[in-house]
């Protein structure tokens, strides 16, 4: 039975998947066509089998194909002009976070503390906010992800063809990403490459953690020292693989965890850094380079270090 209320939710809709929409996961496809409907409702109608594709039931992980006919049941849809934007003080400023945009690709400076998408207890993230900001854009999908506490360059595709191209670059290792990180202690020894396999684990309470484990997936991180402050060192980090929490776990593995890292870091070091004004994880995706294959153009985008992190460096310099 549907959960219809209001005139806009009066009947079942049959929606045909366009070529640009091909490859989207069904929940993301529904979110685009059910603006204003909470994710919890979307997952509920999927679980109940109320959504059909080509008259058949599908799994929530199903990816739609061009030409598919999707049955969308009656649900509550916000009236035109009444759709509530995603909550959060950063949302009204999201237009100011755009670093680069053309007809196919968008790069934003993601704030720290904001998830890239809703789910797992988070109702809204960056992608939902961008879709609410630009309802006239038919296609917006994340190309990659950043941890919730990490700030900086995040790519969003505006065309399915752009998403495919950028994913191919990620797989081939031709997309380059660099981060700025503040680590515990004085760095010595110059550039250091850390290769240690990583494995995801879940603790008894359900929290996800990543550990160095011989049975894990290969992972390589390259640390380039930039400045030593004594109690902490600023480094530029280059990823040769893109595993979950890779920088944070590799930094802790070599005995120099990230400042402000409550999961893998050092409590005493974090407490000291807090006295210098650090209120978040010191990890910022400051540069990303990729190719827009439609123009055969190499694009390099940079996100400046936020004022909050710059002030921490100033305090470290004064402390030294």
Which positions are annotated as active-site residues? 147
* E-assigned strand segments in the chain: 13-16, 52-53, 56-57, 69-72, 98-101, 105-110, 141-142, 151-157, 176-184, 192-195, 198-202, 208-212, 220-228, 232-239, 283-292, 297-302
Pairing of strands 151-157, 283-292: parallel
Residue 278 CA to residue 55 CA, distance in Å, equals 54
The Cβ of residue 320 has, within 10 Å, a number of other Cβ atoms equal to 10
Residue 14 CA to residue 51 CA, distance in Å, equals 10
Tell me the CA distances in angstroms from 73 to 11, 20, 54, 76, 168, one per residue in order: 7, 23, 14, 10, 35
């Amino acid at each position: 039975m549907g959960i219809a209320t209001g005139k806009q939710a009066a009947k079942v809709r049959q929606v045909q998947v366009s070529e640009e929409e091909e490859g989207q996961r069904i929940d993301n496809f529904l979110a685009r066509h059910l603006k204003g409907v909470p994710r919890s409702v979307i997952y509920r109608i999927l679980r109940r089998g109320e959504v059909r594709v080509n008259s058949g039931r599908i799994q929530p992980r199903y990816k739609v194909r061009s030409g598919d006919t999707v049955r969308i049941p009656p649900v509550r849809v916000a009236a035109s002009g009444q759709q509530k934007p995603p909550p959060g003080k950063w949302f009204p400023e999201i237009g100011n976070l755009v670093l680069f945009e053309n007809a196919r690709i968008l790069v934003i400076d993601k704030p720290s503390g904001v998830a890239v998408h809703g789910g797992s207890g988070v109702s809204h993230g960056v992608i939902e906010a961008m879709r609410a900001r630009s309802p006239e854009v038919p296609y917006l999908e994340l190309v990659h992800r950043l941890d919730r506490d990490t700030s900086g360059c995040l790519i969003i595709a505006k065309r399915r063809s752009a998403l495919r191209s950028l994913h191919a670059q990620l797989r081939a290792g031709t997309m380059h990403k660099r981060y700025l990180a503040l680590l515990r202690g004085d760095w010595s020894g110059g550039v250091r490459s850390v290769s240690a396999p990583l494995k995801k684990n879940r603790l008894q309470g359900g929290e996800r953690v990543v550990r160095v484990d011989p049975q894990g997936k290969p992972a390589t991180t390259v640390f380039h020292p930039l400045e030593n402050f004594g109690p902490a060192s600023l480094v530029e980090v280059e990823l040769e693989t893109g595993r979950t929490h890779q920088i944070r776990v590799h930094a802790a593995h070599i005995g120099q965890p990230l400042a402000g890292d409550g999961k893998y870091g050092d409590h005493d070091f974090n407490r000291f850094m807090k006295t210098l004004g650090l209120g978040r994880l010191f990890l910022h995706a400051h540069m990303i380079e990729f190719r827009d294959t439609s123009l055969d153009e190499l694009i390099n985008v940079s996100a400046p270090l936020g004022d909050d992190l710059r002030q921490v460096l100033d305090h470290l310099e004064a402390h030294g």
